[in-house]
Amino acid sequence: MTATKLRNIIAKRISKLEDIDKLEAIYQILDSMENDKNIYELSEIQRKKIQNSKLQFKEGQSISNEKVFDEIGKCLKEK
């Protein structure tokens, strides 16, 4: 099914709805989808840090979770 056809079907079904609770639920879903777009806006510095992290990971410059937790455990025991 194409996006256009699906949009038309959804619009038709929504236009027939009388239940305010269902309409509000649909509105909240659509509104949250719009708000999600703003959540992931990154600065240039943040994008560069993410790119650098991905490159480090590809090159094997990473530490396993197990090793990190071991190191944290050692530090906590020392205190």
CB 56 within 8 A of CB 62: yes
5 — alpha (psi -120 to 50), left (phi > 0) or beta?
alpha
For CA atoms 56, 59, 65, 69, the dihedral sign is negative
* Cut 0.75: pTM above it: no
- Gap between the Cα atoms of 23 and 46, Å rounded: 38
Position 34 scores a pLDDT of 77
- pLDDT tens-digit profile of 10-49? 999 999 999 999 999 999 998 888 766 666 778 999 999 9
Q: Which amino acid is at 67?
A: K
